Chains A and B, each alone.
Chain A
Amino acid sequence: MSQVMIKDDEVDIVIGALQSDLTSFMEEWRPVFSRFHLIIVKDPDLNGELKIPEGFNLNLYTKSDIDKLVGSSSSISFSGYSCRYFGYLVSHKKYIISIDDDCIPARDGKGQIIDAVAQHITNLTTPATPFFFNTLYDPFSKGTDFVRGYPFSLRSGVECGLSCGLWLNLADYDAPTQALKPDQRNSRYVDAVLTVPTRAMMPVSGINIGFNSELVGPALLPAFRLTKEGKLRWETVEDIWTGMCVKVVCDHLKLGVKSGLPYFCRQERGSAIESLKKEWEGVKLMEDVVPFFQSVRLSEAAVTA
């Protein structure tokens, strides 16, 4: 991984706190987080105080801050996983990295922590290549390049608006898949970053993302909620919705979306079978939503997110 020269003060790390005790989560991430400013947003439905260890440069936002800024009866709900979007709203930084509070850093073959934040920054600060697929994946990675047959006029690439990371251990499966394969764990480390081609849709998982808020920030709004949205990841689709909005916006504005590294290690939480009752609604809605996103065309006059 090449050294990335970004100013640490250009980055905010936003964490939606859905559990009250963040101690072990923060301690695991300390070697990576300590350089950066953190924005922690407490799920407004969570009762009690948050337990956060000392020694971090952070701002904490709770229900009262949310109510003060947006009013308690606004059309946007920041409850549950959507609390992170409040963090995006109040951040003034160019790059925002967001991590679910049930993830810890992955480790490489030698047991060293993989600096996922640095990888997101690398992804966001190197060009993306959405108009033609490079079969050796990200051509700007060290040790690789564009392959024979890749048009030269497309080799300077475009700016990257969104970087989507992946998950070892518990992958981001929906409830039916989890219920069918309760023991399946993701142990495959795919050593690649690639640009998701223009007009290709994808499920953007909110568990592990980074984005350039100057380029795409306004498109990340929690608009789509299940009526019985829950506190487990597979009981939500709000990130899938915002992800599709961001992808359509990026395609229109000729920005790139990357997927692949970095990996986090995601830990166990909850019973998928219990969630099945809530999940089906989202699954059905997706069938209508996807054709909409695949066919939506933005007007030429729309030049900002």
Chain B
Amino acid sequence: MAASKSSTPLLKDELDIVIPTIRNLDFLEMWRPFFQPYHLIIVQDGDPSKVIKVPDGFDYELYNRNDINKILGPKANCISFKDSACRCFGYMVSKKKYIFTIDDDCFVAKDPTGKEINALEQHIKNLLSPSTPFFFNTLYDPYRDGTDFVRGYPFSLREGVPTAVSHGLWLNIPDYDAPTQLVKPLERNTRYVDAVMTIPKGTLFPMCGMNLAFNRELIGPAMYFGLMGDGQPIGRYDDMWAGWCTKVICDHLGLGVKTGLPYIWHSKASNPFVNLKKEYKGIYWQEELIPFFQSLTLPKDCTTVQKCYIEISKQVKLKLGKVDDYFNKLADAMLKWIEAWDELNPSGASTGVPNGPAK
């Protein structure tokens, strides 16, 4: 094999970076060498009269609450306010094939050799190589340099399936829930696990929105981050909700979800008491939500993401409405999201898998 790495395409005209912010965008300075070629979509949460300065030299569009209300009109209330869940508005207005989203307290991490990690490049590698959800490879992602499928891996499954989602991880402050933060306030993630892997079909996972990339054409409409924040009984479950819907739809359509590299450096530990207040309903609702998602089946005629998502919203109303009225509102918001998505993205064909429905 040639010693030089094949260079990963930049995809600079095919990828948007979506950043929700309520504070400032100072963190972009550190990312400049890696992000500058790309178009940014800034979703400004909170007070729309505040001016958020974008560092010079970046190509961007910025949306505040007034813009969201103007663009979506009566559907605007499906986009959360005073919660980073508002970021999904950025996914909806993007015109690109790929999205990378990152929080404004996430910085460039270093690998064990001390080299700075280009997280975006790794996400692109993950998205451009296949996934292997039908059989677990014990050497993890077989398409990475220096590795392969192990003995016993069926040859008929070695082509893999398209990758829809690349879920990255975090060094320093780990993404713990409030109870864990309270018990272990000083724990830091210092373990660099040099692996990317496909999460097997039929397995759910907690998807964190801090360091996430996805193929918008394959799965975009499923990435609705729910009703959180102001006026809502729950927070910090936006990405979880999107992750469970996304995984069920990916499993149904035969798409892959990868997790592992890249790492970013998560610098800010949010206040665990504030977090507890936001999460506490989620912690016990979760016990109903997980069995719900685990047993969710989508009919064969759900061949596009939108159809799958609409079906999920029906099931949410039917089965979770009795857990709390919040889920009735959420189901309605999910439908509004899909309508808004289709209005803003009238491509003719709905988002679907090139080769039709999944196995």
Contacts and interface: CB of A to CB of B under 8 A. Distances in A.
B290 A132 contact: yes
B166 interface: no
A219 interface: no
A287 B155 CA distance: 8
A271 interface: no
A148 B139 contact: no
Contact of A203 (B152, B167, B169, B240): B152
Given A132-B203, A164-B138, A171-B139, A153 B287 contact: yes
A243 interface: yes
Given A152-B286, A200-B200, A203-B152, A191 B191 contact: yes
Nearest to B181: A148
Interface in A239-293: 239-240, 243, 259, 283, 286-287, 290
B174 A200 contact: no
B270 to A, nearest CB: 11
Q: Which of B175, B200, B237 has the most CB of A within 10 A?
A: B200
B154 A199 contact: no
Interface string B65-104: 0000000000000000000000000000000000000000
Contacts of A149: 177, 206-208, 237, 239-240, 243, 286
Interface stretch (A2-10, A11-19, A57-65, A133-141): A133-141
Interface residues of A, number: 57
Contacts of B155: 283, 286-287
A173 B158 CA distance: 13
A151 interface: yes
A21 interface: no
A145 interface: yes
B150 A287 contact: no
Nearest to A171: B139
A186 B188 CA distance: 29
Given A189-B194, A200-B203, A205-B152, A147 B138 contact: no
A201 interface: yes
A137 B89 CA distance: 31
A72 B154 CA distance: 34
B140 interface: yes
A177 B189 contact: no
Contacts of A151: 286-287, 290
Contacts of A203: 135, 137-138, 150-153
A174 B152 contact: yes
Interface stretch (B29-37, B141-149, B302-310): B141-149
A205 B138 contact: yes
B71 to A, nearest CB: 30
A183 B2 CA distance: 12
A174 B136 contact: no
B326 interface: no
A281 to B, nearest CB: 13
A120 interface: no
Contacts of A239: 152
Interface string A196-217: 1111111111000000000000
Given A151-B290, A184-B1, 14 more contacts: A132-B206, A137-B193, A143-B191, A147-B176, A148-B175, A150-B206, A151-B287, A171-B148, A173-B148, A186-B146, A198-B203, A200-B202, A202-B136, A283-B155
